[in-house]
Amino acid sequence: MALAGEISSRTDHADARQRCIAVREGLIRAGLFSETVTDSTAAARWRVSPSPFLLSQEHLHLFETLGTHLLALYRALNRLYFESVHGTQPAWVAAYLDQGKPDSLIAYSRLDRFRDLLPDVIRPDVIPTDTGMIITELDSVPGGIGLTGCMAQAYSHVKSQSSVLSTQHFEVVGGPDGMVRGFAAMLRERMEGRTGGVAIVVSEEAQDYRPEMEWMAARLREQDLAVFCVEPDEVDFTEDGLRLARDHRPIALLYRFYELFDLANVPKSELIMYAAKQGRVAVTPPFKPQMEEKLAFALFHHPALAAFWQSELGEETHAILSRLLPNTWILDPRPLPPAAVIPGLQLGGRAIADWRDLSHATQKGRRYVIKPSGFSPLAWGSRGVSVGHDLPQSEWAAVIDQALASFPTTPHILQEFHKGRQFELSYYNEQAQDIVPMAGRARLSPYYFVSGGKAELAGILATVCSPEKKLIHGMKDAIMAPCAIAPEAR
């Protein structure tokens, strides 16, 4: 069954326009949408669609069950890393995952106190293609949590805004409060019986996401959770733990909304880590950089580790992830012995043993993506991503050389490019004050919150960019909307 992307052709044109205006106004009131291009009080602008992005029952089932498989992947990766450290798995596994990290952070992440800790928020980026879904990467410190929650409410409640809008109601995935309830359940469990509040600490690097996390904190307080979105400087260190500077409330749980590569620029990060080490505060996601590397996909597909993954994941999960995770390789510049080849990588039907052979590939033969694996300011937000067939051959060759040269500090990965299928949608054109059509390719980002040992789906954010865009990410020319269940799928 195909995904559904647009229903406005089956509804009244004026009704669709009014829905867009109502959703837009709701987002502006929440402080998550800039009223004008020059408005700096909100985080962003994008194209507002009259409807959510609609899913078939088949794809809804995929997303509802995917969290279980991804949580199993994280557990297996964590075990693989520590078994590699202790010599029961190949030592090169931990070496790859630790490459470029400070020794102090590596030692901290290996402390027994944190050994079994995993990310509590899981967000894959999923591309619908003509042959199925493809997960391009996983993010355990994702943006979009508050945005997805706010849009879920906006589209769910649009029916009640006016009698004009009563002709269409959307069953948003997770429901209008799914993101809030999912986040709340995760936080309650991670507080581990501690007394105090929750601090969502947003760094300067991640400041664009502060409005949505402030929105989420406000909604969580409505759930009887003392949650506050703060800057690192608003956290005070005391001998008995961490406290909020605003009211000296003890912090039971700190939600880390900053990347580990940025630790040196995050005020009080060492004090936060010390408090966590002493057990005076719980922190999620944990300070474990090995769990935030894109090269985990390369490890999953590595033939030398096949028996481990099959045993650890089980037949069903291994088969599902084998279909969803694209072939990925670590761009390691070290030369191979004469009898060796790079497993699974071919050029013109022949195996290759040198990455630079890819420099000579035709445009059709270089349908690959190169990107930093992690622990780099270029490793998030589609920064540092190069699409082979979108570059002249000389530039592609330069990208390969740069990626190989960066290996000591920032390992890069090579990943198969999968072209997204095309959808026909529409959006509200503010200048024309009318609904206009748009063709585009989609990225679907489901959010899973871990509680009770399970990864529960709370909502899905769809981002749709015009077909000429090779990289799909949030931008002013993209449509962004929550996913909902297609009427025929109910």
Residue 11 has pLDDT above 60, yes or no: no
Q: Which of 166-180, 266-280, 430-444 has the least mean pLDDT? A: 166-180
Q: Say whether both 373 and 427 belong to one domain.
A: no
Residue 388 has pLDDT above 70, yes or no: yes
* pLDDT value, residue 7: 42
Q: Say whether both 268 and 367 belong to one domain.
A: no
Q: Which of 67-76, 128-137, 229-238, 377-386 has the least mean pLDDT? A: 377-386
Inside any domain, residue 345: yes
**Both tokens of residue 385?**
């991503």
Mean pLDDT computed over 389-393: 94
Inside any domain, residue 296: no
* pLDDT value, residue 305: 98
Inside any domain, residue 85: no
**What is the Cα–Cα distance from 19 to 127, expressed in whole angstroms?**
27
pLDDT for 333-359, tens place per residue?
Answer: 999 999 999 999 999 889 999 999 999
* pLDDT value, residue 283: 98
**What is the Cα–Cα distance from 36 to 20, expressed in whole angstroms?**
16
Parent domain of 253: 8-64+119-291+421-489
Model confidence at 12, pLDDT cuts 50, 70, 90, reads: low
How far does CA 394 lie from the centroid of its chain? 31
Residue 323 has pLDDT above 70, yes or no: yes
* pLDDT value, residue 15: 86
Residue 2 has pLDDT above 60, yes or no: no
Strands of 314-387, DSSP E:
328-330, 346-347, 350-351, 368-372, 386-387
Q: Say whether both 215 and 287 belong to one domain.
A: yes
Q: Say whether both 431 and 410 belong to one domain.
A: no
**DSSP code of 367?**
-
Q: How much helix, strand and coil, in percent to the nearest 5, is found in the chain?
A: 40, 25, 35
Number of domains in the chain: 2
Residue 158 has pLDDT above 80, yes or no: no
Measured N-to-C along each axis, helices 306-313 and 315-324 cross at an angle, to the nearest 10 degrees, of 120
Inside any domain, residue 443: yes
Q: Say whether both 39 and 168 belong to one domain.
A: yes
pLDDT for 21-44, tens place per residue?
Answer: 999 999 999 999 988 765 544 447
* pLDDT value, residue 160: 42
**pTM for this entry:** 0.94
Mean pLDDT computed over 42-47: 74
Inside any domain, residue 282: yes
Q: Which of 119, 141, 131 is nearest to 70 (CA)?
A: 119
Proportion of the chain above pLDDT 70, given as a percent = 93
Of 386, 401, 417, the residue at which a domain comes to its end is 417
- CATH number of the domain enclosing 449: 3.40.50.1760
* pLDDT value, residue 471: 84
Inside any domain, residue 54: yes
* pLDDT value, residue 409: 96
Q: Say whether both 261 and 347 belong to one domain.
A: no
Q: Say whether both 185 and 256 belong to one domain.
A: yes
**Both tokens of residue 54?**
């609609």
Mapped onto helix, strand or coil, the DSSP state of residue 111 is coil
